[in-house]
Amino acid sequence: MATCPIIQEREGEWTSNEMIEVLSFRIPAFFLSGSESPQVLCDFITNFQTKPDDVFIVSYPKSGTTWVQEIVWQIYHNGEISKKVLGDRVLFIEKALLPESTHLDITTMPSPRLFKSHLPYDAIPKGTDDAKTPCKYIYVARNPKDAAVSSYKFMASFGTNGMNAPWEFYAKLFIEGKTVYNKWNDHVLSWWKHRHDPNVLFLKYEDLKKDLQSNVRIISEFLNKSLSEEVINLITEQCTFKGMMKNVQSFLLGGKVEGPKFLRKGMVGNWKEHFTPELDERFEKEVLEKLKGSGLEFDFEL
């Protein structure tokens, strides 16, 4: 465990998962192996030099990052399916200093380097020469009600991160921005403001659910990777929830069957099974009202 101040929210007997603060947002404490201080990770992220053909797949946690990573990987590999764990194919930048990540050496990774991140726009690595040679960022946003439930289920499935809180407590922390990566609305808006930048593609989880094929095409065009209709169709079929479940061992945390899983329900509207009318009212008022005037809207059921 990291030798730095651990943040853990408490209410009576209930505790949140253990977090640390890096660049003024919270990340899971286990993102540091114990030997590094948060400053080492801050410096690593701040000084990270991007290359023009790097691609970052970014989201607020539990918004479809795994899904888009797999689509992007298949786009670059013409619809091939890999048995390798996704984390060994796409490097999670905030976990890059963990010993388990060192086999993906950033300096020798083949181009294009694919990265996963949950960083807000201002903190994402851009490289000092960014204006001349910007890399690409694909951001995926998901309605916050489903993202919150998914996040709770994921955190609760660790069993070892200090969290023993029920959903009501976790939902309250989510609204207040006291979970990992702080407030959902600040995060999505930080990227939404850059949606028209030529090197940013802003996607929504719900749109992928509505029409995956069009989104596979949009992503491949954004990456300047021209694919035949046949390959687009193949990737679409292989990247449905059902398709990805056929290769589920690739989407387990650290490849461990008994650990947290990146594929759970894969639906829009699961929040309805977990929200009381009071909680729904709080989300509408304290999370969604913050989007007013931005033009950013979400589907909450399909």
117 binds ligand A3P, rule: CB under 6 A: no
Site string for ligand A3P, 15-54 (x = CB under 6 A): ----------------------------------------
- How many residues belong to the chain? 302
265 binds ligand A3P (CB under 6 A): yes
Cα 135 to Cα 1: distance, rounded to the nearest angstrom = 33
Q: Are 191 and 120 in contact (CB under 8 A)?
A: yes
Q: Considering only residues 44, 48, 76, 241, which one is a binding residue for ligand A3P as defined by CB under 6 A? A: 241
Given 197, 263, 269, 282, the residue binding ligand A3P (CB under 6 A): 263
Q: Is residue 145 near ligand A3P by the rule CB under 6 A?
A: no
Nearest to 256 by CA among 116, 92, 97, 87: 87
Which of 77, 103, 118, 187 is catalytic? The answer is 118
CB atoms within 10 A of CB 242: 10
Tell me which residue of 209, 205, 225, 215 sits closest to 75, measured CA to CA: 225
Q: According to CB under 6 A, which one of 262, 275, 283, 298 is a site residue for ligand A3P?
A: 262
Phi, psi dihedrals of residue 186, rounded to the nearest 5°? -65, -40
State which of residues 264, 274, 282, 290 lies at the interface with ligand A3P (CB under 6 A).
264
**154, 260 Cβ separation under 8 angstroms:** yes
Count residues contacting ligand A3P (CB under 6 A)? Answer: 21
Decide if residue 146 touches ligand A3P (CB under 6 A): yes
Per CB under 6 A, 161 contacts ligand A3P:
no
Enumerate residues 193-222 that contact ligand A3P by CB under 6 A.
none
Query: Pick from 62, 113, 187, 204: which binds ligand A3P (CB under 6 A)?
Result: 62
Q: Which of 80, 81, 115, 73 is nearest to 216 (CA)?
A: 73
Q: Which is nearer to ligand A3P, 63 or 179 (CB)?
A: 63
Q: Is 244 in the site for ligand A3P (CB under 6 A)?
A: yes
Binding ligand A3P (rule: CB under 6 A), the pick from 25, 67, 170, 192 is 67
Residue 81 CA to residue 25 CA, distance in Å, equals 35
β-pairing, 14-15 vs 10-11, is: antiparallel
Residue closer to ligand A3P, measured from CB, 11 or 80: 80
Here the tokens at position 59 are 């989201």
The closest of 170, 175, 177, 156 to 259, measured between CA atoms, is 156
Task: Answer yes or no whether residue 75 interacts with ligand A3P by CB under 6 A.
Answer: no
Nearer to ligand A3P, 185 or 250 (CB): 250
Confirm or reject binding of residue 266 to ligand A3P (CB under 6 A): yes
Annotated active-site residue 196? The verdict is no
136: left (phi over 0), alpha (psi -120 to 50) or beta: beta
The 3-state DSSP class for residue 63 equals coil
Annotated catalytic residues are 118
- The binding site for ligand A3P (CB under 6 A) comprises 59, 61-67, 146, 150, 153, 239-241, 244, 262-266, 270
